[in-house]
Amino acid sequence: MVAWMKAAFPSVNFVTINAARAASEVTVAATCWYQYVPQDADLVLVEYSLNGCLEANGQPMCSSTAMVRVAAYESFYRRVLRRAPRTALMSVAAFSFPPPP
């Protein structure tokens, strides 16, 4: 994503903070990682499907607004926006499909 953005916007100086952590879910980010967002951030990119919304058996865990993980995402987004009120939020989903037989 960063490589694409640098190529698409060559005159922009990008400073990237990668707060991704393997095998972590959004509850940790909502509890403390939002504090890593600089107050003058222009863009916060959040990938929400691999660690946050799919269980090991492939069942969706974010299919309802009443689910705990959905509440954790909303809490995370709200805390980011309070910390960096002028930032743009972008949520993307990365999916891991099994190879064809």
CB count in 10 Å sphere of residue 65:
8
Cβ–Cβ < 8 Å for 64, 18: no
Is 28 within a domain?
A: yes
CA-CA distance, 48 to 89, in Å (whole number)? 12
Q: Are 65 and 19 in contact (CB under 8 A)?
A: no
Query: Residue 45: what pLDDT?
Result: 87
For the chain, the helix, strand and coil percentages under 3-state DSSP, each to the nearest 5: 35, 10, 55
Residue 13 lies in a domain: no
Whether 64 is in a domain gets the answer yes
7 domain-assigned? no
Q: Is residue 81 part of a domain?
A: yes
Enclosing domain of residue 42: 24-92
pTM: 0.72
- Checking if the pLDDT of 12 tops 80, the result is yes
**Residue 65 bridge partners (DSSP):** none
Q: What is the pLDDT of residues 66-88, one digit of tens each?
A: 677 778 888 889 999 999 999 99
What's the number of domains the chain is made of?
1
The pLDDT-based confidence of 6 (bands split at 50, 70, 90) is: very high
